Amino acid sequence: MIEIVESGQLVARRREATNKGAARALRRSGRIPAILYGDGIPKAVSVDAKEWTHNFRNTSGNTIIGLKLDNDEQKVLVKDTQVDILTGNVMHIDFYAIRAGKKLSTVIPIHLEGTPRGVIEGGILEQKIEEIEVVCLPKDIPDFFELDVSRLEIGDSLHVRDIPVPREVELRAGADLTVVVITHAKAVVEPAAEMEEEAEEEITIGDKSEDSAE
């Protein structure tokens, strides 16, 4: 159920200074500031930017990788990454250490399968949530949840309670939370019709102005 990165470990170094100036200096030197959570007191670390980009950039939140720190390798999840929207460079990473036999919290994507009948009839599919938080053992982390939407008519919806969930996995969301809904397509006003309405309004206003002038 879980994807394990086998391409090698990611080496981390401890960092003492954690202010913005130190973080900028790290990035200029080719490293990415990071925090390691889940193993006692959070640890400020850094990883090599080239190594991350080459081997781990596409790592998802439910992928376990090996993080080597102080000659000791820990299994971790990537909990969050901050990316510069202009350059696409990773600015900061949050790692979460995991232990066998200890449950953890992570976020799993929700994939939709099939084309709804309501969409074929002209409706619009709206996916309200695209991922959901779960609690489970590391070995039981799903790659994703799949919802079959092919039978949905206009006005139909699916909720968290409709997600097929393995017995070992606990969802951290209300059962009645809407995941997907098929709605009616909104009527589109043609530009020509809008112009005609505006023209009629101008004529009416003009007539009133002439009357008042008399």
Final residue in a domain of this structure, among 73, 98, 123: 98
Q: Is the pLDDT of residue 154 over 70?
A: yes
Number of Cβ atoms within 10 Å of the Cβ of 74: 19
CB atoms within 10 A of CB 90: 20
pLDDT tens per residue, range 69-120: 988 888 888 888 999 999 989 999 999 888 878 888 888 999 999 999 999 9
How many structural domains compose the chain? 2
Is the model more confident about 191 or about 146?
146
The residue ranking higher by pLDDT, 210 or 147, is 147
CA 177 to chain centre: 17
Q: Note the pTM of the prediction, 2 decimals.
A: 0.63
Report the pLDDT value the prediction gives residue 101, as an integer from 0 to 100: 82
Question: In terms of domains, do 119 and 94 share one?
Answer: no
More confident residue, 163 or 142: 163
- Dmax (CA) for the chain in angstroms is 95
Does 157 map to a domain?
yes
Check residue 44 and give its pLDDT.
94
Residue 209 has pLDDT above 50, yes or no: no
Query: What is the residue range of 114's domain?
Result: 105-183
Question: Closest by alpha carbon to 108, among 73, 67, 61?
Answer: 61
Q: What is residue 146's predicted lDDT score, i.e. its pLDDT?
A: 95
Q: Is 86 within a domain?
A: yes
Structure tokens at 174: 């209300």
The answer to whether position 206 is within a domain reads no
pLDDT(189) > 80: no
Residue 6 in this model has a pLDDT that exceeds 90: no
Is 69 found in the same domain as 39?
yes
Rounded distance between C-alpha atoms, residue 144 and residue 51, angstroms:
26
pLDDT at 200: 55
Same domain assignment for residues 93 and 7: yes
Q: How far is CA 43 from the centre of its chain?
A: 25
Q: Which CA distances in Å does 161 have to 88, 136, 147, 157, 173? A: 37, 18, 11, 11, 9
Is pLDDT above 50 for 214? no
Residue 205 lies in a domain: no
Residue 69 sits in the same domain as residue 121: no
